[in-house]
């Protein structure tokens, strides 16, 4: 443990971020996007569909909570736990608030993710090998103060990551995996200090990941993290204790394996890749983890004296293992950003390790780049909103009309007030950061985190009606209801699970697979993309086209509505616009 540390931190620089400011920043990030938003396509509304099917089964229909289905098809990843939580909260919801209540456990998951990341970073930085250089005459940062300031930096780095914003506000298994992955990260980080609470966190994290559709990732993270925890105890006298630790962690892994096997949760989705795919993975990782990844790479370089034996230094080995496994899972399972989401707490922790090694010129470069980037983004959001409200300048409003025809802007005093308050807070933050203040480790990440929170809040207040119109199925279902009138049942054929969930939620209708027309279910909905495969069967069952309804913001997505032949009239329109 005598490897040199590159961290040189004074007692003054290790001051903590004011708690009230940090809590307000987290609240401003968590609440917008969960409240007042319609379910967006496609995974968000699809997950809600599974929850609705579990919580509100059709009379006479048998629903298995171990095999949630939507349109008769189970979830290919078998992510049970997030659907269970959403369905339980839907059962508690008043009429009309099902989607709001379904998001409540996911809101708690995001809060738990932020808290677990902070405490994981705090525990890792308390390790002796992560502490800064001791000065000859004193004045260096105290271990607890240093760890607290670094944990503040890790949380700010997590909030600043561009890929976190949208996916962490959707009620999908991806957020569940992020939450339990961060809980596992915290439990392993804190293992040598509080074994009982850490074992509980590890067990909950691994079981949660297993029940959220990622049993293989849970095992890889747990087994590799166990090795880091065991080898970090270098004292030979603790050998017996290390064996006991490994035994406990082995039992937790065995419990996950047994659970996954009993519930048939194992799914292998390894796909082949090319060098072009590697290029796409690198590009995805660069924008998704920005701005944490440059700081993480810088930290690995500056701490390279310990990196060669990283398994002996948990502040490097554990987050590096978590990041490697999750990025590898992204590569092997189709390179979706949802798989990459679980890597963010570990990458943010590595980014925090760069803070005590940053030179003043590099810190200033980060500040100016962040200031320009997020200020331009915020100004753009405001200009487009003003144009939608007033028509001036005219070009942004014309662009919105071209991309979202039939959209009618609306004014919300509450949304405007929140957006204005956030913008003024950003201006105050910029003024504070560009002023002369006492040094603080976390200062270089204040503007990135504040800018990310500002832009997300502006998007989910000023632009929320536009985003709901463009990203939800609400307008499409509304046009369908205007044509069919109130109806309690639709038959379907060739539609996606997201489209089926939209009919369940927005139309409040029962869904039945296509069959002959029935008196209590006399409308058939078909996705036009699959119509040519079903044309002969549709006609043989006695259906004929009544209208084609196009999604306002995507003309390629069209529903063709059929009704019984004998009910058609010569006046039936051929299309709805």
137 touches 112 (CB < 8 A) = no
Question: Which segments within 266-379 are labelled E, that is strand?
Answer: none
- The predicted-structure confidence for 328-365, as pLDDT tens digits, reads as follows 888 887 767 888 999 999 999 999 999 999 888 888 88
Length of the chain counted residue by residue: 577
Provide the pairing of β-strand 489-493 with 73-74: unpaired
Q: Is 224 helix (H, G, I), strand (E, B) or coil?
A: helix
Cβ–Cβ < 8 Å for 125, 151: yes
* Average pLDDT value for residue range 302-328: 88
The tokens for 569 are 């009239």
Going by pLDDT thresholds of 50, 70 and 90, the confidence category of residue 577 is very low
Backbone angles phi, psi at 575, to 5 degrees: -155, 155
Q: Environment class of residue 394 by beta-carbon count within 10 Å: exposed (0-12), middle (13-18) or buried (19+)? A: exposed
Q: Which residue has the higher pLDDT, 10 or 117?
A: 117
486 phi, psi to nearest 5 deg: -60, 125
Per-residue pLDDT tens for 506-548?
A: 999 999 999 998 888 999 999 999 999 999 999 999 999 999 9
Name the 3-class secondary structure at 69. strand
Cα 148 to Cα 125: distance, rounded to the nearest angstrom: 8
CB atoms within 10 A of CB 31: 16
pLDDT over 90 percentage in the chain: 61
Coil/strand/helix, residue 6? coil
Please say if the pLDDT value at position 293 is more than 90: yes
Mean pLDDT for the stretch of residues 549-553: 89
Residue 523 to residue 503: CA distance in whole angstroms: 12
DSSP 126: T
Q: Are strands 510-513 and 489-493 parallel, antiparallel or unpaired?
A: parallel
Q: How much of the chain is helix, strand and coil, in % rounded to 5?
A: 65, 10, 30
Q: What is the pLDDT of residue 572?
A: 46
Compute the half-sphere exposure of residue 481: CA atoms within 13 Å on the CB side of its CA.
Answer: 17
To which residue do tokens 């189970």 refer?
A: 74
Q: Quote the pTM value.
A: 0.93
What's the rounded Cα separation, in Å, for the pair 168 and 178?
8
Q: Determine how β-strand 543-551 pairs with β-strand 73-74.
A: unpaired
DSSP output for 391-418: --SHHHHHHHHHHSTT------HHHHHH
Sign of CA pseudo-dihedral 324, 326, 331, 337: negative
C-alpha gyration radius of the chain: 26
Sign of CA dihedral 372, 377, 383, 386: negative
Band of pLDDT at residue 271, cut at 50, 70 and 90: low
- Given a cut of 70, whether residue 239 has pLDDT beyond it is no
Residue partners of 268: CB distance under 8 A and separation at least 6:
216
Query: What is the C-alpha separation between 94 and 126, in angstroms, rounded?
Result: 47
Region 367-381: mean pLDDT is 94
Alpha-carbon separation of residue 64 from 54, 56, 57, 468, 503 (angstroms): 8, 12, 10, 32, 21
Token digits for 337? Answer: 């950003």
Q: Give residue-wise pLDDT tens across range 377-414.
A: 999 999 999 999 999 999 999 999 999 988 999 999 99
Measured CA to CA, the distance from residue 257 to residue 218 in angstroms comes to: 10
How far apart CA 71 and CA 272 sit, in angstroms, is 30
d(CA 325, CA 339): 10
Q: Which residues contact 184 (CB under 8 A, 6 or more apart)?
A: 201, 202, 205, 206, 209, 218, 221, 222, 225
Would the pLDDT of 492 be above 90?
yes
Question: Smallest Cα–Cα separation from 271: which of 216, 340, 327, 333?
Answer: 333
Helix (H/G/I), strand (E/B), else coil: 48:
helix
Q: Tokens 């002959």 sit at which residue?
A: 516
């Amino acid at each position: 443990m005598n490897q040199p540390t590159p961290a040189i931190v004074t007692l003054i620089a290790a001051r903590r971020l004011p708690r009230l400011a940090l809590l307000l920043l987290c609240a401003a990030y968590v609440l917008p996007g969960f409240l007042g938003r319609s379910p967006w396509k496609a995974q968000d509304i699809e997950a809600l569909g599974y929850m609705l099917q579990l919580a509100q089964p059709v009379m006479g229909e048998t629903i298995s909570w171990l095999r949630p289905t939507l349109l008769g098809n189970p979830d290919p990843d078998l992510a049970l736990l997030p659907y269970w939580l959403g369905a339980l909260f839907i059962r508690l919801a008043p009429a009309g608030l099902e989607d709001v209540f379904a998001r409540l456990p996911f809101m708690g998951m995001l809060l738990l993710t932020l808290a677990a990341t902070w405490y994981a970073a705090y525990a890792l930085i308390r390790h002796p090998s992560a502490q800064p250089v001791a000065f000859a005459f004193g004045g260096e940062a105290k271990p607890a103060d240093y760890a607290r300031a670094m944990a503040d930096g890790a949380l700010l780095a997590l909030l600043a990551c561009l890929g976190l914003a949208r996916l962490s506000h959707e009620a999908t298994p991806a957020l569940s995996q992020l939450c339990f992955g961060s809980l596992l990260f915290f439990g392993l980080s804190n293992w040598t200090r509080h074994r009982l609470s850490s074992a509980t966190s590890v067990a909950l994290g691994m079981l949660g990941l297993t029940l959220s559709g990622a049993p293989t990732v849970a095992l890889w993270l747990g087994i590799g993290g166990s090795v880091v925890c065991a080898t970090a105890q270098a004292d030979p006298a603790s050998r017996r204790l290390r064996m006991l630790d490994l035994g406990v962690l082995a039992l937790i892994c065995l419990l996950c394996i047994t659970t996954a096997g009993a519930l048939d949760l194992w799914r292998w989705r390894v796909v082949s890749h090319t060098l072009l795919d590697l290029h796409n993975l690198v590009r995805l990782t660069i924008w998704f983890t920005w701005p944490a990844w440059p700081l993480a790479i810088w930290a690995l370089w500056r701490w390279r004296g310990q990196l060669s034996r990283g398994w002996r230094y948990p502040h490097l080995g554990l987050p590096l293992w978590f990041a490697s496994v999750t990025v590898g899972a992204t590569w092997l399972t189709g390179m979706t950003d949802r798989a990459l989401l679980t890597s963010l707490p570990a990458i943010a922790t590595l980014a925090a390790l760069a803070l005590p090694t940053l030179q003043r010129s590099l810190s200033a470069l980060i500040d100016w780049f962040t200031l320009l980037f997020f200020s331009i983004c915020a100004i753009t959001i405001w200009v487009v909103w003003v144009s939608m409200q007033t028509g001036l300048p005219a070009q942004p409003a014309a662009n919105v009309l071209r991309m979202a025809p039939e959209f009618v802007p609306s004014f919300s005093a509450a949304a405007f007030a929140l957006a204005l308050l956030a913008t003024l807070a950003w201006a105050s933050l910029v003024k504070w950061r560009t002023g002369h203040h006492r040094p603080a480790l976390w200062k270089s990440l204040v503007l990135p985190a504040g800018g990310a929170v500002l832009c997300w809040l502006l998007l989910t207040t000023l632009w929320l009606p536009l985003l709901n119109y463009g990203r939800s199925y609400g307008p499409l279902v509304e046009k369908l209801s205007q044509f069919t009138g109130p109806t309690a049942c639709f038959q379907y054929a060739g539609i996606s699970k997201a489209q089926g969930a939209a009919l369940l939620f927005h139309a409040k209708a029962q869904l039945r697979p296509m069959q002959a027309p029935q008196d209590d279910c006399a409308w058939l909905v078909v996705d036009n993309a699959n119509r040519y495969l079903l044309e002969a069967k549709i006609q043989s069952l006695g259906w004929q086209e009544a209208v084609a309804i196009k999604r306002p913001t995507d003309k390629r997505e069209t529903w063709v509505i059929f009704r019984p032949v004998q009910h058609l009239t010569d006046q039936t329109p051929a299309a709805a616009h």
